[in-house]
Structure 1
Amino acid sequence: MTETQHPNFHAPGRRSRAAAGLALAALATAGTLGLLTSCGRSPHSSAIGADAVAPGRPSASPMPGMNMPSSHPGTGTPVAGTAVAIKNFAFSPATLKVPVGTTVTWTNQDTDAHTVTSTGSGGPLHSPALATHGTYSHTFTEPGTYAYLCTIHPFMTATVEVTR
Structure 2
Amino acid sequence: MSATSSHAYGIGVMAIIIGASVGVVFYTSFYLPESLMKPSVDEHILHPVKETIIEIIEGSASSAQQDNFVPKLVNIQLGIDNQVIWKNVDTTAHTVTPDHRTEDSYSGVFGSQGVIKPGYDYEFLFTEDAIIEYHCEPHPWMKGKLEITKQRF
State the TM-score, normalized to the length of structure 2: 0.52
Aligned runs of 1:106-125 on 2, under 5 Å? 106-123=86-103, 124-125=109-110
2:76 aligned with 1:98: yes
State the SS of the aligned residue for 1:145. strand
Residue equivalent to 2:54: 84
- Whole-angstrom CA distance in 1 between matches of 2:97 and 2:78: 19
Bigger radius of gyration: 1
2:115 aligned with 1:136: no
Which digits, 9 at most, give the CA deviation of each residue in 1:47-98, with x for residues without a partner? Answer: xxxxxxxxxxxxxxxxxxxxxxxxxxxxxxxxxx600000131100001111
State the SS of the aligned residue for 1:82. strand
- Whole-angstrom CA distance in 1 between matches of 2:141 and 2:74: 18
State the one-letter code of the partner of 1:126: G
- Whole-angstrom CA distance in 1 between matches of 2:134 and 2:89: 18
How many Å apart are 1:100 and its aligned residue? Answer: 1.7
Larger relative contact order (CA 8 Å, sep ≥ 6): 2
How many Å apart are 1:152 and its aligned residue? Answer: 1.1
How many Å apart are 1:121 and its aligned residue? Answer: 2.6
Higher helix share: 2
Work out whether residues 117 and 151 of structure 1, in 8 Å CA contact, stay in contact via their aligned partners in 2.
yes
Deviating beyond 3 angstroms after TM superposition, the runs of 4 or more aligned structure 1 residues are none
Residue equivalent to 1:126: 111
Work out whether residues 125 and 148 of structure 1, in 8 Å CA contact, stay in contact via their aligned partners in 2.
no
How many Å apart are 1:125 and its aligned residue? Answer: 2.3
Q: Which runs of 5+ in 1 are unaligned?
A: 1-80
State the TM-score, normalized to the length of structure 1: 0.48
Size of the aligned set, in residue pairs, is 85
Aligned runs of 1:8-19 on 2, under 5 Å? none
Aligned runs of 1:1-164 on 2, under 5 Å? 82-87=52-57, 88-89=59-60, 90-101=68-79, 102-123=82-103, 124-127=109-112, 128-164=114-150
